[in-house]
Chain A
């Protein structure tokens, strides 16, 4: 796990959790966020745990449970 701190502005939406809003604002679904500090008028400071190869791991898991072979074969034929 690689931890990284950053600041950003997040629009808070009533009814959402803060984590929902942060994930939505940055399209980070699938990654792990921990809110460290929230101040009223300043950007939110969070620590962001980048899971090594987040998208790659997710895709690997999805691909292993699927049948991509027909698509592979057709694409290989098309782009030979």
Chain B
């Protein structure tokens, strides 16, 4: 059973935001997905992967590079961000003119639907309100629920 966990940008920010109530869940989810990624190389039957859209990844990197050039963050912070983003696979098209922040997520889900039987969007904010929007029928859950899902299925 192949499962793709698509990270919305708020979950990625929760990973490096120590003050977020979802920090622990989000960082542990990232760690759990990377352990499962390793399991794939062991030819185990299950496959889980974390994804970020090209669009959101580019946006976050642009923000980080601007902060770096203004010396508001240093190379250490950029390195941490790199570790997080490189732990996720990236898919999608880096459209410059998305009017809706959820569309890159929906496009990513559509793009990988032939490779992953189940696609789960991880969002710790308001995405539940847009479920079924634009015909999107994949599950949208929090990082806590996603982590619980992984643990309970092993």
Near B by CB (< 8 A), chain A positions 35-80 give 50, 53-60, 62-68, 70-72, 74-76, 78-79
Interface residue A8 (Cβ < 8 Å from any Cβ of B): yes
* Interface check B73, CB cutoff 8 A: yes
Contact across chains for B31 and A55 when beta carbons are under 8 A apart: yes
**A16 interfacial by beta-carbon distance below 8 Å:** no
CB-contacts of B1-54 with A (<8 A): 9-10, 12-13, 15-19, 27-28, 30-32, 34-35, 38, 41-42
Bound: A78/B72 CA distance, A: 17
| Other-chain residue from B18, B35, B38, B101 in contact with A68 (beta carbon distance below 8 A) | B18
Tell me if B63 and A59 are in contact (CB < 8 A): no
Which residue on B lies nearest to A26, using beta carbons? B41
CB neighbors of A among B85-109 (8 A):
87, 101
Cβ of B130 < 8 Å from any Cβ of A? no
**Contact of B73 with A59 in the complex, beta carbons under 8 Å:** no
Chain B CB count within 10 A is highest, among A56, A62, A64, A78, for A56
Q: Does A34 contact B (CB under 8 A)?
A: no
* B28 and A53 contacting across the interface, CB-CB below 8 Å: yes
A72 and B13 form a contact (CB under 8 A): yes
B59 lies within 8 A of chain A by Cβ = yes
B16 touches A57 (CB 8 A): no
Query: B residues bordering A, Cβ < 8 Å?
Result: 9-10, 12-13, 15-19, 27-28, 30-32, 34-35, 38, 41-42, 56, 59-60, 63-64, 66-67, 72-74, 76-77, 79-81, 83-84, 87, 101
Interface residues of A (CB under 8 A from B): 4, 6, 8, 26, 28, 50, 53-60, 62-68, 70-72, 74-76, 78-79
